[in-house]
Amino acid sequence: MNDNEYLREFIKACGPEALTHDRFWMPVLASLPGIFRAREVNLFRFAFAVPNDEAIAVCVKHSPIIEVGAGGGYWARLIRLAGGNIIATDIEPGKPYGTLVKNGDRLQMWIDDIQQCDAANAATAYPNRTLMLCWPPYNDDMAERALAVYQGQRVIYIGEWDGCTATEAFHDALEAQWTEIESVKIPNWWGIHDTLWVYERKQQRRRIKLGDKT
């Protein structure tokens, strides 16, 4: 995808060997400070997760999408360019979060129609769209609240499993109530282990009472 500037910046900072998806890839020690600086700069310009063609194609396949916590809309922009249908929402579009944030920091905006909306309200309003969460905030209940009220059948989750994204309760709910149907390895900054997963809601078996002929 020629429009994926983030992927080009990632390769420039980390080298093409970082695209092998080997979670134990090790850059030259002397290059680590530069990689850390590049990640800090680029997560404000683009997003926490680095998209590749495969990830965007999977998102397009499972559109239409309602994205919560869209940030600056970088993933949404690429999904639209690839032909996908996505509504992007954020509780405060353009405002970053996390330990790297300093007062006055703002995200670069990639689309101009991000709807200002609480994640749970957005998830409730669009049950006929796939719910997408890209790097929901660590140890914040945003993701679990959105998942709890969402009445749709499919979820795209981009982040770490029991790592630096979402909460333990969110991951427990995914395991208990949803079935993984697809996953895509995406480029990982050194020390980060994020993946794109697609889930479908588990079908609950209906208990048939004695005498029930239906």
Give the pLDDT of residue 26: 65
- The count of other CB atoms within 10 Å of the CB of residue 113 is 9
Residue 214 has pLDDT above 50, yes or no: no
* Residue 28: HSE in the Cβ half-sphere, 13 Å Cα cutoff: 5
Residues 6 or more apart whose Cβ sits within 8 Å of residue 214:
none
* Spatial distance between the Cα atoms of 125 and 64, rounded to a whole number of angstroms: 13
Domains of the chain (ranges; CATH) run: 5-97+105-201 (3.40.50)
Mean pLDDT for all residues in the chain: 89
The pair of structure tokens assigned to 137 is: 């905030």
Contact between 201 and 175 (Cβ < 8 Å): no
pLDDT classification of 104: cutoffs 50, 70, 90: low
Please write the tens of the pLDDT for every residue from 39-77: 989 988 999 999 999 999 999 999 999 999 999 999 999
Give the pLDDT of residue 97: 66
Give the pLDDT of residue 208: 46
Give the pLDDT of residue 212: 45
Residue 202 has pLDDT above 70, yes or no: yes
Give the pLDDT of residue 103: 57
Give the pLDDT of residue 75: 98
The closest alpha carbon to 4, from 38, 51, 47, 37, belongs to: 51
pLDDT classification of 24: cutoffs 50, 70, 90: low
Eight-class DSSP state of 151: -
pTM of the model: 0.90
Percent of the chain clearing pLDDT 70 (strictly above):
85
Please write the tens of the pLDDT for every residue from 109-147: 999 999 999 999 999 999 999 999 999 999 999 999 999
206 vs 110, more confident = 110
